[in-house]
Amino acid sequence: MGTYYWRETAAPDGYELPDPNVFGPLVLTEDNADQGVQVEAVNSQTPVPPVTGEVRVRKTDSDTGDPLAGAYFELWRETNGVDGLQTDGTDPDTHVSDCTTPANGVCTATTVPGTYYWRETEAPDGYDLPDPNVFGPLTLTEDNAEDGVQAEAVNTKTPVPPVTGEVRVHKTDAETGDPLAGADFELWRETNNTPGLQTIGINPDTHVSDCTTPANGVCTATTVPGTYYWRETAAPDGYDLPDPNVFGPLTLTEANAEDGVQAEAVNSKTPVPPVTGSLTLDKTDAKNGEPLPGAVFELWRESNDVPGLQTGGANPDTLADAGCSTDQDGQCTFDDLPLGEYYLREIAVPEGYVLPANPVSGPYEVTEENSEEGVTVELANDRGEPCKGKDCKDDTHKAARG
């Protein structure tokens, strides 16, 4: 008889040792000796940690395969029963964690079995975000938990545009410096390693583009560094094509690309010959209208701004032609006359005819409007006898009618 305690020292496999691990007191007496005494000792099963495994994503360069640091990822678990990843709406999948790839390019999450997606939210510097940017599904099970599951995610470098700059040519008037529109240019790039521009042959330089100068006179091409030439193929209306018609070389480099390079190309106006006209005299017999050969005329140009013809004095008009004799058709033609007003002065008549009382006729105006057809003047002479004595002005003229 007495008082007793049971002390549990080791629990069954899979069970935890209770705390306290002493059961009692149990008092055994003469009265209860036949039945004995008993204590109840319960054990709880040792909690079994759930199976877990790694869900990974490996980020690499698409060209080299090198690991990439700095990619941002979200890990999502499939929980809404809808195929694919849903990150918003009324019933999205479950966001588990975030990760930025370290130097080895691998993001890792240790989690329970399930279906997972990695979603890339930001690419490493200098790389494009892939499209699509979701990698998965990855299914982690008890069977593969020890090895884990992994997605491969590659990124392509963001294309870096080449350095470019402007290659320009500025077309101006040689005299005024004003910009000229309407000049046609070709832009060529030096590619055959022969000094100067070659546009033909078996190995010419490279034709890049064409341009016609606008109102500001500047042709512009945006291109990569290199050596360039502008070749003018047609001048603006009213201007001569320069000789030489190649401008350059212009060397565009990374250092001057921001400002660009420019050639100055000047054009001179095409000389415009002055407009001239002609004056034709038809000399006839005053009585029968027959042509009279042998009449001699001077042509004078109005130049002193005094009305009428002045042939002497301090400021006479200008003698344009000292003498023209009418031909067999009675005609006398003065060609290549500048525009202006002219007078005809008859200084000699055919034998048997007399000078008119006023040997000057005109003015006759040569204008742009009549320059092509010319001006025609019709004059007639009367027959008469040679003068004698005091009525004769000089011995070179025939009789003058008083």
pLDDT tens column, 253-295: 999 999 999 999 999 999 988 999 999 999 999 999 999 999 9
CB 339 within 8 A of CB 363: no
User: What mean pLDDT is predicted for residues 20-49?
Assistant: 90
What 3-state class would DSSP assign to 110? strand
- Using the predicted structure, report yes or no on whether residue 97 has a pLDDT greater than 70: yes
Chain-wide mean pLDDT for the chain? 93
Chain-centroid distance, C-alpha 262: 15
Residue 398's pLDDT is 40
Residue 160's pLDDT is 87
CB 401 within 8 A of CB 382: yes
CB 341 within 8 A of CB 302: yes
Domains in the chain: ranges and CATH: 2-45 (no CATH), 53-155 (2.60.40.10), 165-267 (2.60.40.10), 276-381 (2.60.40.10)
User: What mean pLDDT is predicted for residues 78-90?
Assistant: 95
119-to-130, 137, 154, 286 alpha-carbon distances in Å: 10, 11, 13, 115
Residue 49's pLDDT is 85
Q: What is d(CA 212, CA 183) in angstroms, rounded to the nearest whole number?
A: 5
Q: What is d(CA 84, CA 81) in angstroms, rounded to the nearest whole number?
A: 9
pTM score = 0.52
Q: What is d(CA 364, CA 379) in angstroms, rounded to the nearest whole number?
A: 13
Nearest to 265 by CA among 226, 236, 225: 236
Burial of 5 from C-beta contacts in 10 A (0-12 / 13-18 / 19+) = exposed
Rg from Cα positions in the chain? 57
- Using the predicted structure, report yes or no on whether residue 394 has a pLDDT greater than 80: no
- Using the predicted structure, report yes or no on whether residue 396 has a pLDDT greater than 50: no
Q: How many other C-beta atoms are found inside a 10 Å radius of the C-beta of residue 125?
A: 10
- Using the predicted structure, report yes or no on whether residue 336 has a pLDDT greater than 90: yes
- Using the predicted structure, report yes or no on whether residue 183 has a pLDDT greater than 90: yes
Burial of 373 from C-beta contacts in 10 A (0-12 / 13-18 / 19+) = exposed
124-to-121, 135, 161, 263 alpha-carbon distances in Å: 10, 16, 18, 43
Phi and psi angles of residue 399, each rounded to the nearest 5 degrees, phi first: -60, 135
User: What mean pLDDT is predicted for residues 131-160?
Assistant: 96
Q: What is d(CA 145, CA 157) in angstroms, rounded to the nearest whole number?
A: 34
User: What mean pLDDT is predicted for residues 231-248?
Assistant: 97
User: What mean pLDDT is predicted for residues 126-150?
Assistant: 96
